A and B are shown apart, each in its own frame.
Chain A
Amino acid sequence: MDQSIAPSSRRVVLGVSEPTDDALDAPDLPTEPMPLNMGPSHPAMHGTVRMVLDVEGEKITSADVQIGYLHRCFEKESESATWTQVFPYTDRLNYVSPMLNNVGYAMAVEKLLGIDKQVPERAQYIRVLVGEMSRITDHMTCLGAGAMELGAFTAFLYMLKAREWFYELLEEVSGARLTHSYMRIGGVCDDLTPDFVPRLTDILKRSRVVLEDVSKLLDRNRIFRDRMDGIAIITREEAIAWSLTGPVARSAGLAYDVRKDHPYLVYDRFDFDVPIGSVGDNFDRYAVRVEEMKQSMRILEQAMEQLPGGPVVVNDPRITLPPKSETYNSIEAMIAHFKIIMDGIHVPPGEVYSFTEGGNGELGFYLVSDGTGRPWKCRVRPPCFPAVQIMMKLLPGLFLADVVPTFGMMNMIGGECDR
């Protein structure tokens, strides 16, 4: 694994926590244990999740994190949809980075079909482009909302402003602002818009300024630092033991990034760094995400530079819908269209595990096909599930107020965690 720390992922202050004020822990305040219910619908928690906390005064003694409020039977529903019809469901997994889910699922099916090497190069570059844009929107949402929950509303608005630029461009490409369903098995559904490259270049320029502004607002902000530094520390060993991946694991010093360690698409052609933290606290999780956005922007610039021409989806009537002009004018294309829509793409029997770097870490799809046009099983490894799981260990010993930033930096996305 690549252990190098990105040169730019510097810390303002590393791992220094405030000296404890003895008066706060003074034993003379009589307290008694009290169960406290946070959620499932709580204004300071993004995502529907219920936490049953035992508190003594302000101090948490045990935490029971209960998930499942956003369970939509994703995996079961997929079994009655054709392979292609699953795409809209994947949009709703991690709904702040739908493109990454799209890519992950498409690649899993392609691996099962044995066409993963035939996906046109341009389609692979487009997948990288929209995927990294999605990663940026994912992190912007996480950090912006996290800051807002600590009172920094300005940072939130700045982040969302920049996020909207990305969304607008993704909408132009895919037709939908959030639930894109832009991928297809074998490529993407349509080519990029003609002015995609200049527009993205401009957005990157403006977003960099926004990131600078937010950094200035937060990095040395006394209130923000006090609530983030040294809170909920995860060690590298714990990160491995709890199956953590993504920014949460990297902030604990585990330099695991699927894009680097198991390069897919064309990620091996880009020069980018994997930032890791040194303490594993909430601030590290913030800082790693900020740096990851900058690295994604580097990838985007390189991808735009290298973007080749050519088709954007494999040319096989069994897999790709024929163009409409063919469908309406030849019986061959009409039948192909009919069979793909009504029966679905025939994926040979077998099973596959395919994984990509999602917004929150390793997003895995385990698919089983029985040879029909529908998945026999479609299992998702949601990256934020282990992150939510470790909350039960992190929270006891913290103050009640620490729940909000800790939960925020775990970036639980209900759609993905509960499926």
Chain B
Amino acid sequence: MSTSAAGPGSAVPVAVVPKAGSGPTPAVIESVNVTIDGKPHQFPKGTNLLEACNQVGANVPFFCYHAGLSSPAVCRQCLVDVKGQPKPVPSCYTPVADKMEVTTASPRVLDVRRQMLEFTLLNHPIDCPICDKAGECTLQKHYFDWDAKFARNDGIKVHKDKVVDIGKHIVLDQERCILCTRCIRVCDEVAKTHELEMANRGDHEVLTTAPGHRLDNPYSLNTVDVCPVGALTAKDFRFAMRAWELSSTPSVCPGCATGCNVEIHTARGHVYRLVPRINQAVNKHWMCDEGRFTYKALHAERLAAPRIGNSPTDWDRALEEAGKKLRAALDADASKVGVLFSAQTTNEDLYLLERLAFEHLRVGKAYLAGRDQGWHDDILVSADKNPNTAGAIAIGAGRLKNLMDLANDLRSGAISALLVLGAEGVLVGESAAAAMPVDRLSALVVIGTHTDLLVDSAHVALPLAAWAEVDGTFTNRLGMVQRIRAALPPAGDALPGWEIVTHLARRLGVTLDFSTPKAVFTEAKQKLAFMKDAEWGRAMLPVQLRFAGSRG
């Protein structure tokens, strides 16, 4: 039985939307004058020189530097000439200073850069055809942009271990590693664990786990993202798909209330991975391992066609039947009709269902369902495992009761009919049915994404498009309304929730006239205070990674 008493409804007051980048005005920061490649620029004091150069389009390459991590200056790719300095300086390790004169591509700098790449490639295995990183590899990119000379050395390469199982999700290839230490810093600075380290010296230096440890922190897959080459590969993505075949759609992770910004990487109607998308206000550069696997559910046990009883049917018949059942129950006693909202569905779905239930049908009972609470930390993971609890609570405006109340009402016979939009987490496990006797209902209409116990018990089940298949918005635990985008066509005959609600409304004699999710959003934005500042954003096609160039 999983009617979480605490439930998704217990938490999260709806906060004022903090806009990204608009914190309290910082104290006036001194700015310094820097000349980069002959042109004068101004930067706030303390700006990293590498960032300063690249901000003004200088294109200084780097392996070891990462905007979300500290700078160790080990890769020597970002060396630039600073007037007055005897040697090129690592720009990732140098703050800008007043009257600094920087040359980012002097012959000396280019030469050093090329020589460093030559050293890096000296022992690099000839793995591109079988390497998962090929196509989005920083080493490939930098070689092509900055070296482009054939090998001068045909000696035997130093061999290291090629398949080291270092963690639950990750395989290490020590030969491919270019020793940039980004992954070590991810563990040190993001996950605050310290599993990875360097061992040995010179061309025998290898990345390895600390003795007796495995790379098993909850943020381990970020090491794969930051790896500039194919040294760290995700077991889940390894050999599954070539990177350049993928298309990227910006969206939001549905795994918990944090709402980490992600890119959904798809190919031919299949999701292959989720990777974090930078949002300094939410997740910075990172996301948790658990969130990455939320895509798996998109392709498993989906409710693909409408059902009456347990027999598949078409949309027309199913809607007709659902309308008839609900109409009969409403006519008998509207106060005994219940509607179950879900914290898994978008603001748009919730808003239309709210209008249908309260404004038009005037149902007597409304509940909020969602996944159970789970583990959490103070890095990214929330205890609330639903992406849109804040939105559901705001739209419900105090009228939604929790699943415990639903169970009580079912047992006492206080409700006779139930309309469910988003069934996840309602009936979980063998004993659930006894605690929540849905078989006593005269009408149970379930709009759901997956075939679960509740769908199996429904008189009419309607297939709902899942989060990666719809356009809409989620409201995260900070009250930020974030846009999700359709990366896939809906599974089978499934339709987006808002659209199913409009169809169902028509069968119940109610007109909810919307033809796009944007239209629903626009109206909701006018009516709902928490969506006041939300933006729908521009329409966009998925970006083919092949055309987007290297992600590294």
Contacts and interface: CB of A to CB of B under 8 A. Distances in A.
Interface of A: 316-318, 322, 326, 328-336, 338-339, 342-343, 346, 372, 374
B250 interface: no
Contacts of A339: 140-141, 143-144
Interface residues of B, number: 23
Nearest to B134: A338
Contacts of B144: 318, 335-336, 339, 343, 346
A333 B144 CA distance: 10
B154 interface: yes
B148 A331 contact: no
Contacts of B147: 332
Given A331-B121, A332-B121, A332-B143, A342 B126 contact: no
Interface in B142-175: 143-144, 147-151, 154
Contact of B126 (A330, A336, A346): A330
B119 to A, nearest CB: 12
B150 A322 contact: yes
Contacts of B549: 343, 372
Interface of B: 121, 124-126, 128-129, 134-135, 139-141, 143-144, 147-151, 154, 244, 546-547, 549
Contact of A331 (B125, B141, B149, B547): B125
Contact of A332 (B129, B134, B149): B149
Contacts of B125: 331
Interface of A is mostly: helix
Nearest to B118: A332
B134 A333 contact: no
Nearest to B153: A330
B149 A317 contact: yes
A332 B125 CA distance: 10
A120 to B, nearest CB: 18
Given A342-B135, A342-B244, A372-B547, A330 B154 contact: yes
B131 to A, nearest CB: 10
Contacts of A331: 121, 124-126, 128, 151
A326 B152 CA distance: 11
A338 B128 contact: yes
B150 A338 contact: no
A338 B547 contact: no
B126 A316 contact: no
A335 B128 contact: yes
Given A342-B135, A372-B547, A330 B151 contact: yes
Given A338-B134, A343-B549, A332 B150 contact: yes
Given A338-B134, A342-B135, A333 B151 contact: yes
11 contacts: A328-B126, A330-B126, A331-B128, A331-B151, A332-B151, A335-B128, A338-B129, A342-B134, A342-B244, A372-B547, A372-B549
A279 B204 CA distance: 82
A329 B150 CA distance: 11
A338 B126 contact: no
A333 B124 contact: no
A333 B143 CA distance: 10
A336 to B, nearest CB: 7
A88 to B, nearest CB: 19
A137 to B, nearest CB: 37
A317 B150 contact: yes
Nearest to A330: B151
A332, A339, A374: most-surrounded residue (chain B CB, <10 A): A332
A326 to B, nearest CB: 6
